[in-house]
Amino acid sequence: MRQPQPDWLSERVSQDHVADYKPFVFVDGEGVRCSLYVSGCLFACEGCFNEAAWSFRYGQPYTPDLEDRIVADLGHESVQGLSLLGGEPFLNTNVCLRVVARMKAECGTTKDVWAWSGFTFEQLLQGSPDKVALLEQLDVLVDGPFTLAERDLTLAFRGSRNQRVLDVPASLRAGGAVAWSSCRTAVGRRVAP
């Protein structure tokens, strides 16, 4: 595994490509979700579930047409939110910030945003401005690299025990990682588990 530095700017490596887009999925976070898989990751975790997406040119360019489709899908009443996966979303912040901004402009606060990153919350908080900007848009972050020695297939939303599922607004308020522990019975309304 490599360790890209959190102050590396996304714009130096990203080609604004996406490996895949899947609407109406049930496995990439809570509820029904629209999942965008961006292309390019520098962590090179042993046992990575999506090695093909390590290349920043894998897949196809992110286009306005794809963005229109994603936002239209997100508008369905049954969809709880957007999931950003990779590749590494925080090395593709241009794409991720664009789609999140468009979603929030058209859906307001009715949808949530989850992201998966090889960086930890603490690294992102000290990272380049684009990383902090994306972090501030999230509701939930699944953080840390996949570690084969800590693989646990029974975990929800993550593949290894070192990874954490974090409540991002609560973590930002606290200035440190706060575990995600809420669930939603309806879009936009949080209740205790």
Interaction site with ligand SF4 (CB under 6 A): 41, 43-45, 48, 50, 86-88, 118, 145-146
Among candidate residues 130, 147, 180, 106, the one with its CA nearest the CA of residue 3: 147
Minimal distance, residue 37 CB to ligand SF4, in Å: 9
In this structure, what DSSP letter does residue 146 have? -
Contact 145, 1 (CB under 8 A): yes
- CB-wise, 88 or 130, nearer to ligand SF4? 88
Contact 139, 151 (CB under 8 A): no
- CB-wise, 41 or 124, nearer to ligand SF4? 41
Minimal distance, residue 48 CB to ligand SF4, in Å: 3
Angle made by CA atoms 6, 10, 11, in degrees to the nearest 5: 145
Burial environment of residue 139 by CB neighbours within 10 A (0 to 12, 13 to 18, 19 or more): buried
Which pair of tokens denotes residue 27? 């496995």
Minimal distance, residue 7 CB to ligand SF4, in Å: 17
Minimal distance, residue 190 CB to ligand SF4, in Å: 27
Q: How many Cα atoms occupy the beta-carbon half-sphere of 14 within 13 Å?
A: 23
- CB-wise, 121 or 146, nearer to ligand SF4? 146
Minimal distance, residue 61 CB to ligand SF4, in Å: 19
